[in-house]
Amino acid sequence: MLINHSGKVVVVSGGGRGIGRTIVDRFVAEDATVIALDLAFPDVESDLAADGLAFEQLPCDVSDPASVAAAVERIVDRHNRIDVLINNAGINVEGKVEDLGWDGFRKCLEINVGGVFLLSQAVIPIMKQQRSGRIINAASFAAIVPSVGSAAYAASKAAVVQFTRVLAGELGPWNVTVNAYAPGMVPTSMNGFAEMPAQAQDRLLDTLSLRRWQSADDVADLLIFLAGDAAGYITGTLIDVSGGKLATQIPSRAYENLS
């Protein structure tokens, strides 16, 4: 089978909640061995091989080199390999450049870019030794078309895209693919879409060709594919999974013909 994750060791940063938790659950359903990394886990305090969990939880600060090194070392000591790394962890720091504080801007870069760098760097020797692996990085449509007030977030995600391309070139000879994905508007606690007034939601939906909020499963569907053998010749690319956010201007005009 071209999509068969049974027995694979999959590491998901930011796997304790939101999109990350859905990604974790989907790979568990594919019979993979999944390790979720996060600062904290909202449902239960646990560690590797917690009783009663379908996946393993490991506290990790992706912006801290020592924390990342310790987490990866524990995973390899336990499982002897890492087949898939999904760099999902990220934060959003909003504000116009004139008003942004340095601490907030730096924190956004440290987590969104630094986390991708540190975790990727940590798994490189492992995947090289295996002569196989998948590194999949969360970018954003904001890396291509940013919004006013998104300087920190958009800059961080644009950096992830270029980092992905460079790393893909470096790791290709070892049969390790590196790709990024650009999600659309998934209502989460990070973006606050679900709490927006109805009129504001309608305006945002008007920018999407598919005219619906994205679900976390829409994202996970892509990652299940990218982590599989069927995607073995795809590397160094940004895959748009934004529901048409980047496709056309004012796609809502197409819906006028339906009325």
On whether the CB atoms of residues 143 and 157 are closer than 8 A, the answer is yes
Structure tokens at 195: 């709490």
- Residues forming the active site: 153
Segment holding 11, helix H or strand E: strand 9-13
Q: Residue type at 93?
A: V
Structure tokens at 7: 């027995």
Distance CA 67, CA 241 (A): 31
On whether the CB atoms of residues 141 and 191 are closer than 8 A, the answer is no
Which stretches does DSSP call E strand in 39-193?
56-59, 84-87, 133-138, 176-183
Please provide residue 109's backbone torsions phi and psi, each rounded to the nearest 5 degrees. -70, -40
Burial 162-176 (b: 16+ CB within 10 A, else e): ebbbebbeebeeeeb
